[in-house]
Structure 1
Amino acid sequence: MNRVTQNLLLLLLGGALLKISAFSADFANYVKPGFRPLVIAAGVVLVVLAAAALALDHHRCRSATRQKELLRARAAEETYLAQMLGRDAVVPTRKHEHKHAGGHRVAWMLVAPLAMIFLVAPPALGSFAVRQSEQTSHVPPPTLVEARPTVLKDGRVNVLSMIEFANLAWDDPSGSLRGKTVRLTGFVVPSGRDDAWYLTRMRISCCAADALTMQVMVKGAPAPATDSWVRVTGTWIPRSPRRTGTYTPPEMTVSRIEPMAVPDEPYE
């Protein structure tokens, strides 16, 4: 791979980072929102470095062109003098330059993945990632680090995150969820059953690579389209005392389902 190709790849990479962070919210499909300034800064640094390197290469190319022209002029002058003096011309020579055209063609193929970011940015993790995950329903949710709601109100809709709902359903001796109306947001994943489906949200600590699946089994309404985003309003179904040991997702019965667009921040 020659220097020009390397610099163009750097420029494309920096441009891709800026496209998904400075000019759109697509970066949230890969990392937490708090990383946006770092992604923008990385994109700016790469673009500046690539532009500076391309400018330097252009200057070197012009210098090399001038040197070749000077060598040709010296060769013509030497030939003329040799003819006048009746001696053999001593022509200055250049070092042999190796060209690896095939290697350059292969290097340009590396541009394709970067170009795809400009044309078709990969979406946030969805039902396919959930099915492939080994975390599904066998590991209890992590301890909640954010502050829980102090009071869940009767007679109103309590908006909770998936992790808040899961922790209150799994480990809340006071049973504060009992009889309360809650609203959760997530995407739809089939459960393999006709009478229930999963409302799902992915939780990340840093980036999509460490995503943890958070699920609630929804009963009482047909499943919307797989991977569609919805707001679900309903009430918690308390766990049976006999269900101990292996973790199972909390359950709720639904009273209202509202379709929605994919949120700017798809992860919790």
Structure 2
Amino acid sequence: MNRVTQNLLILLLGGALLKISVFSADFANYVKPGFRPLLIAAGAMLVALAVAALVFDRRRSTNAARQRELLRARAAEEAHLAQMVARDPIALAPVHSREHEHEHAGGHRVAWLLLIPLVVIFLVAPPALGSFAVRQDEQSSHVPPPTIVEARPTVLKNGRVNVLSMLEFANLAWDDPSGSLRGKTIRLTGFVVPSGRDDAWHLTRMRIGCCAADALTMQVVVKGAPVPETDSWVRVTGTWIPRKTGRTGAYTPPEMTASRVEPIAAPDEPYE
């Protein structure tokens, strides 16, 4: 791989970052929305670096061509002078040495690894985590959801639809001595994962701290409504089903009875 190809790969990599962070919201499938300015800055820096390197290489190539022309002219002059004085011509040093090219050979091979993220972004374009990731996570034990320290106290009202995040609902359902969920109409948004039961399915949302690699699964068992298509996004309105007394310490997803299930488009920000 020559230097021009390396610089073009860097240019494409920077362009890919700008593509998913400036011209679309695809970056939210991989990291939290707050990372958008950093992705834009990184993409812009890679593009600027690649363009500068291409310009530099172009100028260096032009200078090298001029030096080769000058070297050929000097060689012709030396040959003519040597012929006039009946001596052997003096060999002139080449413009480039092969030792320099060999020094960077290993780096050129490694640079091909830049193709991997380009192929992923432009050809594969992985979606946000869905039911497959949830099934993999089900192999690990469930733990109670973390307390939302930074959130404002959740105030639920009667006679209206209370829109909650999955984590807020799970916190109230798991540890709320006042039982504020009881009898309240709530609305949750997530994607559909089958539960393996005929009378229920899972409304699911992934929560990330930094990126998709540290995603945690938040689920609510939905009853009273037919199961929608797997991985489809829905908005569910209904009421909480209080947990039965005599529960064990093991965490189980909270349950709700659905009065309305609305299909919706996948949100731009799929994670909580």
1:198-209 to 2 correspondences below 5 Å: 198-209=202-213
* Counterpart residue identity of residue 255, structure 2: E
Counterpart in 1 of 2:137? Answer: 133
How far residue 136 of structure 1 moved from its aligned partner, in angstroms, is: 5.8
**Structure 1 residues 180 and 162: CA distance shift in structure 2, 3 A:** same
Counterpart in 1 of 2:152? Answer: 147
Instruction: State yes or no: 1:121 paired with 2:128.
Output: no
TM-score computed with the length of structure 2 as normaliser: 0.90
CA contact (8 A) 2:13 2:114 kept: no
1:1-268 to 2 correspondences below 5 Å: 2-94=2-94, 96-97=97-98, 107-108=111-112, 110-133=114-137, 138-145=142-149, 146-150=151-155, 152-268=156-272
CA contact (8 A) 1:199 1:218 kept: yes
CA contact (8 A) 1:189 1:199 kept: yes
Find runs of 4+ consecutive structure 1 residues off by over 6 angstroms: none
- Unaligned 5+ segments in structure 2 are none
Moved more, 46-55 or 158-167: 46-55
CA distance in 1, matches of 2:178, 2:245: 15
Moved more, 128-137 or 191-200: 128-137
* Counterpart residue identity of residue 69, structure 2: E
Which SS does the other structure have where 1:72 is aligned?
Answer: helix
Moved more, 193-202 or 91-100: 91-100
CA contact (8 A) 2:10 2:114 kept: no
TM-score computed with the length of structure 1 as normaliser: 0.92
How far residue 107 of structure 1 moved from its aligned partner, in angstroms, is: 4.3
- Unaligned 5+ segments in structure 1 are none
Which SS does the other structure have where 1:267 is aligned?
Answer: coil
* Counterpart residue identity of residue 211, structure 2: C
**Structure 1 residues 163 and 136: CA distance shift in structure 2, 3 A:** farther
